Structure 1
């Protein structure tokens, strides 16, 4: 597949994916339990935060005249309205002052210009406490919290903490790659590069390691029909390829595009019926289970596609752009 044809097809993936998300924005609404002590943040705040982050990236990497840009900005406006223009963050902060997810979701919206000064002031007070700074978190999550603080202008007491050592940061044996490690490494890259906005934020050693091993890892996930993780890895591949002027793995994109449903949604894996009902008929697209098992992978497809379509950096003088996607036979 030539690069121009590949870009056109990948661009179509972003368009149809974001159209499906827009058509199903009701699934991202915050219910009455958004402030409940026993509420499920993974079913309310997490989807809304992910919607916001993808739309921030789409809006940053598209022109104002682009229909994708307009749709992403409209969805960001929707997400902000769902938070009652930031008031819900302040109320949630008062209920759970040491919870990090309100700051993480707010920081995403703040990076797009949506600000609530009272929440920022309250969050900054708590962030200065030893209790906040010493909260035990896994390394990847800590990177995310540090990025959220930066986005909100929160400065930790000097000296600044060293980036925590993650699975990816240790340059592990490539054959130790598995599902959880895959999700962790993609988010390390997202946090270090501000979700693909600053490819130079990825240290050269990590970039070189990923350039070598992303191709077989992507193959492994595509062969296993892990569409959600495949989309995240393709986003990382786009970030890694940009500074070097390498071509993205368009052959891998062909496989992912084939898994996308006609309306634009992408399943987490290659199955639609709930696991407890093998052989059950396909669920309607407005079903809650269907939404929960399609929204994230669909957002990631749009996210990865927009990063892939961005104009790559010029390759070094005397070299041509390279296509780093390898053949089949990935380590498992």
Structure 2
């Protein structure tokens, strides 16, 4: 159940970015219809709690990513109320990354919280703590990129970093991009290309970003899919449609998300302020 829930949440995230970037794009309709159907289904909320460790975080994301037409009703409202009960929207026993992710989706859902503000959450992140003396391989790419995504609302606002902090984040993302391109990590490369954009860089112009985009273009199939997460973790040549989907959906969604954001290229909105 957990991979299914994650895939649908990622699809809803793509729908949100696509609607912000190109709301009149006719190709958005199919994605929007799928998300709308799932979010209206009374059966979907039970999938969110199939794995207790992730239940409240999934419920929060489900509520935050609900299509605008469901804002006043729908099954997501009950799930959101359950997720935000008690002390979940406080810093209590949260890792720095979970604290930041919770803050982002609580704000997106429009619910009150007692979480730290974005500058403080960056200062305690693994990305900020990484020093020049430590190997770049110590950094987890997903942790780094999602830290940047949440700070920058996936490219729709400035990340709120400047001076040494911005230079530090750009350097780590650039070096990680080089490493992932070298290893043929398609999914991670797509995330890092988008992270470069979120940090105010143009991935078409940076050496690592351009190399990453070339890598992704070379392996993309004619229908737009990425045939797996990496050169060593790709769908078998004789994979049936279900097996191919399981191998490819993650990378394909990330590339689609990066594409709609990079092609949008609207001026970033100001970074959001302190805790509420």
Say whether 1:196 aligns with 2:155: yes
Q: Is the 8 A contact 1:268 1:296 kept in 2?
A: yes
Q: 1:237 to 1:134 in 2, by over 3 A?
A: closer
- In the alignment, the residues of structure 1 paired with residue 86 and residue 127 of structure 2 have an alpha-carbon distance, to the nearest angstrom, of 30
The correspondence for 1:269, drawn from 221, 230, 233, is 230
- In the alignment, the residues of structure 1 paired with residue 230 and residue 87 of structure 2 have an alpha-carbon distance, to the nearest angstrom, of 41
- Offset, 1:82: 2.0
- In the alignment, the residues of structure 1 paired with residue 116 and residue 148 of structure 2 have an alpha-carbon distance, to the nearest angstrom, of 23
**TM-score relative to the length of structure 1:** 0.66
Aligned residues: 259
Provide Cα deviations, 1:206-228, integer angstroms capped at 9, x if missing partner: 43223334333212111100111
Matches within 5 A, 1:1-332: 40-41=1-2, 43-62=3-22, 64=24, 69-83=25-39, 85=40, 87-88=42-43, 99-110=56-67, 112-115=68-71, 116=73, 119-120=76-77, 123-124=80-81, 127-130=84-87, 133=90, 136-157=93-114, 162-163=120-121, 165-173=124-132, 176-178=135-137, 181-198=140-157, 200-204=158-162, 205-241=164-200, 247=205, 249-266=209-226, 267-271=228-232, 282-284=237-239, 286-288=241-243, 290-311=244-265
Q: Is the 8 A contact 2:177 2:192 kept in 1?
A: yes
Provide Cα deviations, 1:42-90, integer angstroms capped at 9, x if missing partner: x2110001111122112211251xxxx332343122122123x163465
- Offset, 1:181: 1.5
Unaligned runs of 5+ in 1: 1-39, 275-280, 315-332
Question: Alignment partner of 2:26: what SS?
Answer: helix
- In the alignment, the residues of structure 1 paired with residue 49 and residue 179 of structure 2 have an alpha-carbon distance, to the nearest angstrom, of 45
Q: Is the 8 A contact 2:194 2:262 kept in 1?
A: yes
The structure with the larger Rg is: 1
Q: Which deviates the most, 97-106 or 120-129?
A: 120-129
Higher relative contact order structure (alpha carbons within 8 Å, sequence separation ≥ 6): 1
Q: What is the root-mean-square deviation of aligned Cα atoms in Å?
A: 3.4
- In the alignment, the residues of structure 1 paired with residue 199 and residue 267 of structure 2 have an alpha-carbon distance, to the nearest angstrom, of 11
Unaligned runs of 5+ in 2: 269-276
Q: Is the 8 A contact 1:177 1:217 kept in 2?
A: yes
Q: Is the 8 A contact 1:245 1:312 kept in 2?
A: no
Question: Alignment partner of 1:268: what SS?
Answer: strand
Q: 1:302 to 1:285 in 2, by over 3 A?
A: farther
Provide Cα deviations, 1:88-139, integer angstroms capped at 9, x if missing partner: 46556798696221221331234x5543366436634652513563653332
